[in-house]
Amino acid sequence: MAEDLFEPVETSSATMAKAEYSARDIEVLEGLEPVRHRPGMYIGGTDIQAMHHLVAEILDNSMDEAVAGYANHIDVTMNADGTVTITDNGRGIPIDEHPKYPGTSALEVILTTLHSGGKFGGGAYKVSGGLHGVGLSVVNALAERLTVEVARDKKLYRQEYARGKPLTKLEFVANCPNRRGTSITFKPDAEIFEGNNTFIPNRIYRMARSKAFLFKGVKINWNCAPELIAEGDTTPLSDELNFPNGVADFLNLQLGERGTINRTAFTGEQEMANNEGRVEWAITWPIDENGFSYSYCNTVLTPAGGTHETGFRSALLRGLKEYGDMAGYKKITNATAEDFLSDACLMLSVFITDPQFQGQTKDKLTSTKAIKLVETAVKDSFDHWLSSDVENAKALIEYVIDRAEARKKKKEEKAQARKSPTKRLRLPGKLADCSQAAAEDTEIFIVEGDSAGGSAKQGRDRVTQAILPLRGKILNVASASVERIGQNQEIKDMIEALGCGVKDDYKEDNLRYEKIIIMTDADVDGAHITSLLMTFFYQHMPKLIENGHLYIATPPLYKIVAGGKNYYALDDEEKDKILAKVTKGNTKPDISRFKGLGEMSPTQLKETTMDKNNRILLRVMIPNTSTDEGRAEDFETRRQVERLMGKDPEQRFKFIIERAKFVDNLDI
Ligand code: 0RA
């Protein structure tokens, strides 16, 4: 069928190609407008990191073909003209007529329609996690130019696109008796990516290398035009990436020269029962207790972990306790997963069919079957590993027992220190402290303005929630001198209330609260204050952010009363959604706009913004710098923040908020 539909065509003009389109195709063409209108919703932002997700998306599609057993070779090439080409020897994207869109090829539907990337029911392992899995159409929409070539049934076809729209028909190019697969070449649209559409070779190289580590069945050929490699950049010009030892090799690379508690890493792989999937792992315990945890599902990173990690942890903790009991280490019963695994270096990779993910950024695996599958697959192997080397097991058990005892002691000391009046730090007068002594589970709300502070004080949970009201805008630390920062009352109050010290004096153990929550009005001034505070923490207490303590509250902007019920909306979009839902019959909903936190009653503030069960908190994050990937990201972040610092805090705020990896939806 393909042959008669797609006879060789010579057209290459956009207008000509479009003129030949029939009305029913318009729907397809319009399908990508939302992507160009709000790119952030599809790829998590419009910064350089988001731009690199486009490459990840294409690469993931080729990896899908490899993992499903249809391809074993992928070429990743960075061309001198700034385009990237990804070629695989898989089945090739189908080019026959799409059943739902007569006259249009499946290829064109896949490239021009949202959520059409599905494998039409086929495919063993389908990637759909992370920010990826959004589909080739999203990449196409955000590409200034995209060329796709498909070699299928011994024929080579080509089609060109610009910003999601076909420039040509699908053209027959040549017979190709020895070739099969898909090749996509594209360049991101500078209009979308803040004027910068230059890829960073090292990022793409590492991306390709990670994929090769995660799937032994693929050979990835890397090539980069020499003019793209900056001076001092050690990224190779070409490389053949294939790692028969998989994640074990990956772990060694990430670990570098660091010493470990155990003699050998615990590594292995296991097919799961009934062809339900496969798991591969490598874990070791570094002496410096500076661990990392990288987990993947179908070669896609799951930064927030999930069920595969749960299964893995459970197998290891159970295994260690059983072995410890048997070998006479009584104290091992008190050990927690935290003691055993929180500072280990772990690479965990699972392959399962039809994986499910959770969250706005889909970075957590939620398929329940992964727990049991991984647990069962790993447990026997771990038992064997422990009993096969007594010295090794002993070293590990002693390490875990030490850590369990240290944790217990620290907890006791901390509770003591907070209670003892002599040790009690000078606290700012404006602070309404919580009554609980231990920092665990406590929160401090840094609130914009005295009146909002008053509502917050009344609406809080006195046991675990403290309130520190700030008067107006805080000093812009980015542009202020050290003396001025030291004299600023609002900043002094914050430092005293937190108790942990600043810069090199920062002591995590002295931090008086588990969560530091910035709560400002849902307007531009509020955003400004939030950005000033974030800059303060970023520059003076970066560890506080790195360790996951900094959060942003999300107070609502609207209250809608309809049918005797109250609804709250965070923004206009949510308001419209609620209105669409509740506007039934003839009663008109009553909409009011909060001018600020101070306008809300304590009960309203509690219900919408402070209550642990109802609120949405955004967690501010800095990439984990213990890995190559994280270091590269962190480097970019610092560069960007420095660039934006001082002059335009709104832009900086927008920048930080947009960074998908920074923001986590919690407590929903
Ligand atoms: C849809 C269906 C099939 C394969 C693909 C898409 C596919 C997409 C990409 C993207 C990059 N490389 C790719 N390779 C394949 C299944 C085709 C069939 O059943 O023959």
Q: Which residue has the higher pLDDT, 388 or 656?
A: 388
- Mean pLDDT confidence for 564-583: 86
Q: Is the pLDDT of residue 129 over 70?
A: no
Q: Is the pLDDT of residue 119 over 50?
A: no
Cβ neighbours, 10 Å, residue 595: 12
- Residue spans per domain, the chain: 33-241, 247-406, 430-555+594-622, 628-668
Q: What span, in angstroms and rounded, lies between the C-alpha atoms of 465 and 65?
A: 51
pLDDT for the residue 26:
38
**Residue showing tokens 């939620």:** 366
Among 245-254, 523-532, 619-628, the minimum mean pLDDT is found in 619-628
pLDDT for the residue 31:
80
Q: Which residue numbers are catalytic?
A: 448, 521, 523, 525
Kindly give, in sequence order, each residue whose CB lies less than 8 Å from that of residue 480, ignoring residues fewer than 6 positions away: 488
pTM, whole model, 2 decimals?
A: 0.63
**Pairing relationship of beta strands 558-562 and 550-553 according to DSSP bridges:** unpaired
Residue 219 in contact with ligand 1 by CB distance below 6 A: no
Q: How far is the CA of 175 from the centre of ligand 1 (A)?
A: 20
Q: Is the pLDDT of residue 464 over 60?
A: yes
pLDDT for the residue 564:
82
CB 497 within 8 A of CB 432: no
Q: Which residue has the higher pLDDT, 441 or 478?
A: 441
pLDDT band at 614 (very low <50, low <70, confident <90, very high): confident
* CATH value of 430-555+594-622 in 3.40.50.300, 3.40.50.670, 3.30.420.40, 1.10.1040.10: 3.40.50.670
Among 158-162, 350-354, 413-417, 643-647, the minimum mean pLDDT is found in 643-647
Residue 149 in contact with ligand 1 by CB distance below 6 A: no
The residue contributing the CA closest to ligand 1 atom 2 is: 119
What percentage of the chain has pLDDT greater than the value 90? 57
pLDDT band at 13 (very low <50, low <70, confident <90, very high): very low
Q: How far is the CA of 371 from the centre of ligand 1 (A)?
A: 30
Residue 128 in contact with ligand 1 by CB distance below 6 A: no
pLDDT for the residue 668:
25
Q: For the domain made up of 33-241, give the CATH fold.
A: Heat Shock Protein 90 (3.30.565)
Q: What span, in angstroms and rounded, lies between the C-alpha atoms of 309 and 342?
A: 12
Kindly give, in sequence order, each residue whose CB lies less than 8 Å from that of residue 95, ignoring residues fewer than 6 positions away: 2, 6, 105, 106, 107, 150, 152, 157, 170
- Mean pLDDT confidence for 113-128: 51
Q: For residue 194, which phi and psi values (nearest 5 degrees)? A: 50, 40
pLDDT for the residue 581:
84
CB 536 within 8 A of CB 477: yes
Q: How far is the CA of 170 from the centre of ligand 1 (A)?
A: 16
Amino acid at 47: D
pLDDT for the residue 631:
53
Q: Which of 88, 91, 125, 126 to mutate to test the pocket of ligand 1 (most atoms within 8 A of CB)?
A: 91
pLDDT band at 471 (very low <50, low <70, confident <90, very high): confident
pLDDT one-digit tens code per residue, 201-240: 999 999 999 999 999 999 999 999 999 999 999 999 999 9
Among 391, 268, 279, 291, residue whose Cα is nearest residue 339: 291
pLDDT one-digit tens code per residue, 391-402: 999 999 999 999
Q: Which residue has the higher pLDDT, 487 or 496?
A: 496
Residue 185 in contact with ligand 1 by CB distance below 6 A: no
Please give the structure tokens belonging to residue 522: 């849902």
pLDDT for the residue 30:
52
Cβ neighbours, 10 Å, residue 585: 8
Q: Is the pLDDT of residue 21 over 50?
A: no
Q: For residue 92, which phi and psi values (nearest 5 degrees)? A: 85, 135
- Mean pLDDT confidence for 334-361: 90
Q: How far is the CA of 57 from the centre of ligand 1 (A)?
A: 13
Residue 88 in contact with ligand 1 by CB distance below 6 A: yes
Nearest atom of ligand 1 to the alpha carbon of 106: 1
As a whole number, the mean pLDDT across the chain is 84
Strands, E assignment, 449-535: 465-470, 515-519
Cβ neighbours, 10 Å, residue 317: 20
Q: Which of 55, 96, 119, 150 to mutate to test the pocket of ligand 1 (most atoms within 8 A of CB)?
A: 119
pLDDT for the residue 570:
84
- Mean pLDDT confidence for 237-252: 96
Among 112-126, 192-206, 296-310, 549-563, the minimum mean pLDDT is found in 112-126
Q: How far is the CA of 117 from the centre of ligand 1 (A)?
A: 9
Q: Which residue has the higher pLDDT, 118 or 411?
A: 411
pLDDT for the residue 419:
63
pLDDT for the residue 20:
38
Rg (CA), the chain: 28
- Indicate the CATH number for domain 247-406: 3.30.230.10
Query: Of all helices (H) and strands (E), which one includes residue 635?
Result: helix 628-644
